[in-house]
Chain A
Amino acid sequence: MTTLLDPTSERSPGSRELLPRLPDTTGKVIGLLDISKPRGNVFLDRIEDLLVQRGMQTRRYSKPTFTRIAPTELKQQIAGECDAVIEALAD
């Protein structure tokens, strides 16, 4: 394991920070990413219903296979089209 020395003023936590949360979700476009495990669609269908009821728009995506990380093109597409993304693991 590599250990580096922090080059910063150490005012922020050492662990990686989450991206800022959406302050308001109304009207926002939420991507729903199915990682292509069985029943991911069932889970995402229900999530989609709940998001739409709360005034959000949704877009559906799926990874070619759950065994690999999402292709860069797919990640860029989601980043370009959505304000946030929910990734569904299921089985």
Chain B
Amino acid sequence: MSYRLYVKEGCETCQLVVPVLAHLLKHADVTVFSQDNPAFPAGMPVEDDRELEHSWRDGIETVPTLICLDEAGTETGRTVGWDRSEWESLTGDGLDFGLPAFRPGCGSRTQDPGMPERLAARYDRERLHSRSVELADMEDDLEACFDRGWTDGLPVVPPTAERVMRMLTGTRRDPAEVIGAVPPDLAVCTVEKIAINAVMAGCRPEYLPVVIAAVEAALQDEFCMHGLLATTYYSGPMIIVNGPIRKHIGMNSKGNALGQGNRANATIGRALQLVIRNVGGGKPQGVDRSVFGNPGKYTYCFAEDEEGSCWESLAEEKGFDAGTSTVTLFAADGMQGIVDQKSREPESLCRSFAAGLRVVGHPKMVLASDAILVISPEHERVFRLAGWSKQDVKDRLMALLTIPGSELVAGAGGMAEGLPEKFKDRDLPKFREGGFNIVRAGGSAGMFSAIIAGWGASGSSGSTPVTRAIEL
């Protein structure tokens, strides 16, 4: 039987138990570890644990902590703070030195802000499997990330082991868990690699589950991430977040939801793009053959404003309950505004929306791109007051967007672009079945909505939106 006792001089309870300790040292095999001053307690043999390795390995959260070990060195019990009866029970000794029966302990130095991840990086590095990249002494760490081709053109947060350890506290998942193979290189992607790229993107640890879910969704076959990356089209992956996690991590679903200024919105979308770039090897003018790209290829992520909506959310439409947090990935182009400040009737507003949606890709392009219509609160109000469901809006828009083939064939309207002549006498829908979705977001003032067009290859011939639950 032996004991380990963890103390620090700055703890009043540790000071209080010094007489007990003096007694125990005479009668038992006790090793004392001091976290802040190896000369404390004075005159006693003390192990210097200012580097906190012993404290960290023993999982100390409070001082004093007394740990009891059997002959094989296996822990058989521990007590934190000063609780005389517990100390007596652990040591089998009478410890009445006129002290109070109970005093709570103090925080262990291992729990100081920033310390857990620092210690994990120092003493648990083997938990991470990524290669260490040592920078030269004179190298600027931000510039080093540019030099190695790791950035999207903006500075990234240098991914030190400490920062990655902190990021990994955001998930319960094992860093070694394989999430999938990231195109174009089909490189194996682990939770750890996602965490590294999330650090670089500027994420907080609590965003990590959203990023992991986004990567999982992007790697589903029906999302067609390889084709989306390699296409000459404008598109890139866009993330819509639903469910309670939106509020937990402070996402923006209101004013400027599609714009800058919110850390979660900005960095989650960026982290996904960095995973594609760094893990998958997908880079512009490499396998990424986009003619223009779009600004959303830096980052494209927002939350649906579920609370203010009279409609079910996008995730609920996809079969998830309101208590489940999800990501929906959509192969998205940039955003096109649709302004209507006069319509107060659903029919009129639907006609405005349809006119805007008609031009997605090209006014004659049908059954090619999907689209998402982001309806603002003031536009949604028009439908709410008239009692229109989301499905009513979709049905009306699909009817308005069923277009006579005579308008779509090559040459019609003086434009060579168009469908083969054989479609002349058919009516064709602008969007494929299930290829048009509606979400509600945006600021409270302004009768504007936003059309987010999709990749020109949708459904089985391209990308299908993928919704996936977020696993913490």
Residues of A near any B CB (own CB < 8 A): 1-11, 14, 16
Contact = CB atoms under 8 A, between A and B. Distances in A.
Given A10-B130, A11-B281, A5 B196 contact: yes
Given A1-B134, A1-B135, A7 B185 contact: no
Contact of B128 (A2, A5, A9, A16): A5
Given A3-B160, A7-B159, A14 B131 contact: yes
A10 to B, nearest CB: 5
Identify the interface centre among A1, A2, A4, A8: most chain B CB within 10 Å of its CB. Answer: A4
Nearest to A4: B133
Contacts of B460: none
Given A11-B185, A11-B281, A5 B133 contact: yes
Nearest to B147: A16
Interface of B: 128, 130-137, 139, 141, 144-145, 147-148, 150, 158-161, 164, 182, 185, 187-189, 193, 196-197, 200, 274, 278-281
A5 B135 contact: no
Nearest to B133: A4
Contact of B187 (A2, A3, A9, A14): A9
Nearest to A5: B130
Contacts of B148: 16
Contacts of B196: 5-7
Contact of B197 (A1, A7, A10, A11): A7
28 contacts: A1-B134, A1-B137, A2-B135, A2-B139, A2-B141, A2-B144, A3-B132, A4-B133, A4-B141, A4-B145, A4-B159, A4-B160, A5-B131, A5-B133, A5-B159, A5-B160, A5-B161, A5-B164, A6-B132, A6-B133, A7-B150, A7-B197, A8-B150, A8-B279, A9-B182, A9-B189, A10-B131, A11-B187
B279 A4 contact: no
Contacts of A10: 130-131
A83 B137 CA distance: 31
A4 B128 CA distance: 12
Contacts of B281: 8-9, 11
